[in-house]
Amino acid sequence: MVIGGSAAGMAAAARAKRKKPDLEVVVFERSKYVSYAPCGLPYLYEGLIDSFDRLIYYTADYFRRERGIDVRTRHEVVDIDHSSRQVIAIDLDSGKEVRVEYDKLVLATGGISLKPRAEGVDLSGIYTIRTLDDGERFFKALTKSNTVGIIGVGFGGLEMAEAITKMGKKVVLIGKSDHVLPGFDREFIEVLNNVIVNKGISLRLEERVVSFEGDDHVRKIVTDKGEYKVDSVLISIGIKPNTHFAKKLGVKLGVTGAIKTNEYMQTSVEDVYSAGDNTETINLVTGKPAYIPSAPTANKMGRVAGDNIAGGTMKFPGVVGTVILKFFNEHIGKAGLSYNEALREGFNASYVDISHNTRSHYYPGAKKVRVRLVFDLDTHRVLGGQFMGYEGVIERVFALTAVITSKMTVEDLATLDLPYNPPFTPVWDPLIVAASVAMRKLS
């Protein structure tokens, strides 16, 4: 039995059924979609994708017909009785109660969008996005809006700011932090502020939302520093784990507040597994529990849970914390810890900043990529990296993720056998250059 039909839930169901075809697998999903990509919504809004259907990987009918999985969309789970091994759900179309018995249970209930503690936050015209249904509702609101307020300056906020600007709307982007993309070091990423402003977006940093005003529909955002007239609002300040059923079942939560599991995705309650944005993991850099929700992590966790439900021994080791963003023509990426995060975690950290060609200098179209390499002065271990440029970011993020996962040192990175060809990279790759400069600090 799987509760939740998004990334983790469907990955668990599909893996369990593939590994053990005679297994009866039931999935309850509250929305009308399963196996979809809400991360693609910004590109639909700006017109790169022509329909919401394109954001669906596989339909519920496909899973029923081709995989033999009993997928029940528009079914909201309202209770779980682990003593009798029953899940109780409501068919949202008929209103009827449904009870299904299970032997093993996967909690793939995802996350819940955070909202600021501000008066008027429940006015109509204020949206959060977690599902494709949410995305459809917000898209309808956008077609009737001229000015849109976005609360949150993380990855989701910036992606939506670009998309809505390209729709021809005015955007007010508000964040309480002193820089955009708070997971990055401020002094590395603050150059992005000029890019945001030059695109016509009103960027308001270090402002806390006090209230939303309007009769029934939001008309104004009030912060501790100003007031902004809007036609609609998107709140994108992060998520928290949905642990409602975990608490009811007596499942142990971790130090992050998310569900604690072992490497097999088993919870503290026998025959109950957890996977996805409701689940705690291990940060492979620090070795400590962490809550780092992402679609790739959810899919992998779900696959591990499904494999083990079907009798396997697959393990999920943890994550490095890897992210990538396109904001207009800028590519921004990060792997591992920022310098400030490393200091907070107790490392004797240092960093180097370099700017280097993405291709051989004589090859047409060569551009610069900025790199910040973070490392430990005691062990020389590479702890993280940040990247920004018009090209050449994603491949360096890929490489550095493997370096960090393998616990390689600066010296290891400096001699890593990275490929060379003028159209793709100079003979001295930017990562190698950064490691070489870092070695001077270590000598």
Encode pLDDT of 104-138 as tens digits.
999 999 999 999 999 999 999 999 999 999 999 99
What is the residue whose two structure tokens read 């597994």?
273
Residue 443 predicted with pLDDT over 90? no
CA separation, residue 304 to residues 21, 36, 60, 293, 376 (Å): 17, 19, 21, 16, 32
Residue 429 predicted with pLDDT over 90? yes
Q: Where are the domains of the chain?
A: 2-31+57-112+239-309, 115-235, 332-442
How much is the pLDDT for 293?
95
Burial class (CB in 10 A: 0-12, 13-18, 19+), 362: exposed
How much is the pLDDT for 352?
98
Q: Which one-letter amino acid corresponds to residue 155?
A: F
Averaged pLDDT for residues 11-33: 96
31-78 tens-digit pLDDT:
999 999 899 999 999 999 999 999 999 999 999 999 999 999 999 999
Return d(Cα 14, Cα 106) in angstroms, integer: 12
Averaged pLDDT for residues 230-244: 97
What is the residue whose two structure tokens read 């029953």?
86
345-394 tens-digit pLDDT:
999 999 999 999 999 999 999 999 999 999 999 999 999 999 999 999 99
The residues annotated with a catalytic role in the active site are 39
Averaged pLDDT for residues 425-431: 96
Closest CA to 416 of 375, 374, 382: 382
79-111 tens-digit pLDDT:
999 999 999 999 999 999 999 999 999 999 999
Give percent of the chain with pLDDT exceeding 90: 99
Closest CA to 190 of 332, 313, 366, 21: 332
The strand pair at 382-389 and 330-336 is best described as antiparallel
CATH number for the domain running over 2-31+57-112+239-309 = 3.50.50.60
Q: Chain-wide mean pLDDT for the chain?
A: 96
Count CA atoms closer than 13 A to 246's CA, side-chain side.
Answer: 27
List, as one string, the DSSP characters of 133-147.
HHHHHHHHHHTT-SE
CATH fold of 332-442: Enolase-like; domain 1 (3.30.390)
Q: Which helix (H) or strand (E) holds 119?
A: none
Give the model's confidence band at 285: pLDDT under 50 very low, under 70 low, under 90 confident, else very high: very high
Tell me if 2-31+57-112+239-309 shares its fold with 332-442.
no
Burial class (CB in 10 A: 0-12, 13-18, 19+), 89: buried
Per CATH, the homologous superfamily of domain 115-235 is: FAD/NAD(P)-binding domain (3.50.50.60)
Averaged pLDDT for residues 252-279: 98
